[in-house]
Amino acid sequence: MPLPRFITKVNKAVTNKALIRLSGRPPFAALEHVGRSTGRRYRIPINVFPSGDEFVFALTYGPDTDWVKNVLAAGMAVLEYDGDTIQLEDPQMAGWTAAGKALPGPVRALLRLIGVRDFLVMRRTAHDSDGR
């Protein structure tokens, strides 16, 4: 896991509440997902990198975070990005080969430096006609 787990607790309690205000301004976004056991809706700030109809999420805390498990279990999520609400589906775990092409050079370098190895890739649903 690239970043220590205790940082996730700080982010949930403090940082996420501040960053959610920036969501919607690239590369920041807001991701809405449903808890796999509670059924509760969650909305988190997140960095995302579009690549055609796919959206790449760098898993800076690794693949074992609650939001990743929730999205994989549900098979979908809703993304608020750049003024659009985008329905996403088909979450797939990916590595550098599949996801790296969507990342800007400086982001790629930073993620490699901190040891990120895992990515989540989702695609815009076929019925989401608001694509660019």
The confidence score (pLDDT) of residue 26 equals 75
Residue 110 lies in a domain: yes
With respect to residue 100, please indicate whether it lies within any of the assigned structural domains. yes
Please give the pLDDT value at position 126: 83
Q: Is residue 73 part of a domain?
A: yes
Q: Which residue has the tokens 């400086």?
A: 106
Domain extent, residue 96, equals: 6-12+24-124
Tell me, yes or no, whether 18 lies in a domain.
Answer: no
| pLDDT value, residue 28 | 84
Residues in the chain: 132
pLDDT of residue 66: 94
How far is it, in rounded angstroms, from Cα 129 to Cα 121? 19
- For residues 66 and 46, the answer to whether their CB atoms sit within 8 Å is no
Q: What are phi and psi of 10, to 5 degrees?
A: -65, -45
Q: With respect to residue 132, please indicate whether it lies within any of the assigned structural domains.
A: no
Does some domain include residue 83?
Answer: yes
Per-residue pLDDT of the chain (132 residues; tens, 9 = 90+): 456 666 666 555 555 555 555 566 677 899 999 999 999 999 999 999 999 999 999 999 999 999 999 999 999 999 999 989 999 999 999 999 999 999 999 999 999 999 999 999 999 998 765 554
Domain count, the chain: 1
The closest alpha carbon to 93, from 125, 126, 56, belongs to 56
pLDDT at residue 27, rounded to an integer: 79
